[in-house]
Amino acid sequence: MIDLADSKSQRGERCGLFEQFLARARIAIPPRKKNRVAVAAGLGRLFLVVLINASACLTAAAGNQNGQMPAAGDAAAAVTGTAAVSEPEKAKPTPSGSTQQGAPSVSQAGDPCHGADGNGAPAMVVIRPGRFDMGSPETEAGRFSVEGPQHRVTMPRPFAISRCEITVGQFAQFIRETGYQTSAEAGGKGCYVWNPEKRAVQQQPGTHWHNPGFSQGDDHPVVCVSWVDARRYVDWLSQRTGALYRLPTEAEWEYAARADTDTARYYGDNSPCEYANGLGREAQNIAARDWAVAECTDAHVYTAPVGRFTPNLFGLYDMLGNAWEWTLDCWHPDYAEKPPRDGSVWLAENGGACDRRVVRGGSWNNGPQVLRAADRLGSSTGAADGLLGFRVARAL
């Protein structure tokens, strides 16, 4: 049923990325001698692509389950809209000589992720203008071709992004007030999850944002939410608060994740389990035999409560690991076709596939190769997966 060819003509197809990464997994084993690291990384990458894109390949109707796609003009308007956000504090020096970004909106005492005004808004961090090199250099270990060519992007104005991923509790408030039914709940088919007993991906009936196949508390990142679901959430949040919330653009996401660093990860190559909830030794009992596992333990087999790991220099938590995060941008297979250089959203122009959107950041089931600031995938707008959530942004 699935053609495993890796031709350029298939990159825009619904299952094109799935096919490309299957091909990568096949060539990850050099002739005559197996490189265990390469094999493990290839298979681990293959699993996450299967999980993220399974609903796109097997249930083609899912993308339009809960409403039509917004017009390009609507998405662009969301990016350029304005809303009042507290002014940033004076920049504070960090040990690295960089600067921490502005203060988040006032948060609850002892809780860095929730706003204190009681209107359901998450705590936000103001990110100042600047410039950075988006994507990865060809020399970066673990790099995939979708991350290039690397190019300079200038962020001309400040924006705000949520300090943490949107939580189960925050999403539950949206569900209670609207009665909304998510993509995974509609039709009762469930979301795509990892079955640790079968060591296989499956769409499991009865799984959804409140039951993703593993135990979560209200302070965990919400998963099993599609791009359509995330857009419905930000629309509700905007109406509830009077401010214009949206998903971040892909460029905004990477700029915020890098936090004035130019390395593969904002924490470098040391102590990954201090900064990110990824695939560590704690997950060996559920991992496939050849998955790449970090040589440390982060104490969380699946998702972790948000805000528990060390933040980056901008004060943002879980930018790598815990849950993949939706962005506004339509999927382009690389940056060769003139991407925006000003941090704005990249939609259908130059071959963009808007039935797929870019996801970033990696998740609880990804090893070090995937947990990099430049790593990117495209997923169907109707896909609901147990490793995929989101955070929100606001224009200033």
Name the pTM for this structure: 0.80
Domain ranges of the chain: 65-395
DSSP β-bridge partners for residue 395: 159
Nearest Cα neighbor of 217 from 181, 162, 167, 277 is 167
Q: Which residues pair with 154 in a beta bridge?
A: 131
Residue type, 236: W
Q: How far apart are CA 158 and CA 154, in angstroms?
A: 11
Select 65-395's CATH number: 3.40.50.1580, 2.60.40.10, 3.90.1580.10, 3.30.360.10: 3.90.1580.10
pLDDT below 70 — which residues of the chain? 1-110, 116
Backbone phi, psi, residue 389, to 5°: -135, -145
Kindly give the pairing relationship between strand 388-389 and strand 324-331: parallel
SS3 62: helix
pLDDT attached to residue 187: 84
Alpha carbon of 144 to those of 51, 343, 354: distances in Å?
18, 22, 21
The helix or strand, by DSSP H or E, that contains position 152, with its residue range, turns out to be strand 151-155
d(CA 165, CA 316): 9
The answer to whether the CB of 224 falls within 8 A of the CB of 208 is yes
φ and ψ at residue 125, rounded to 5 degrees: -115, 130
- Write the burial class of residue 276 (CB in 10 Å: 0-12 exposed, 13-18 middle, 19+ buried): buried
CA distances from residue 102 to 88, 121, 163 in whole angstroms, order as listed: 4, 18, 11
pLDDT in tens, 189-231: 999 999 888 888 899 999 999 999 999 999 999 999 999 999 9
Helix axes 16-27, 36-58, angle to 10 degrees: 160
Summarised one tens digit per residue, pLDDT across range 355-396 is: 999 999 999 999 888 999 999 999 999 999 999 999 999 999
Look up residue 355 and give its amino acid: D
Our separate counts of H helices and E strands in the chain read: 7, 14
Q: Is 316 exposed, middle or buried (0-12, 13-18, 19+ CB in 10 A)?
A: buried
Whether the Cβ atoms of residue 350 and residue 332 lie closer than 8 Å to each other: yes
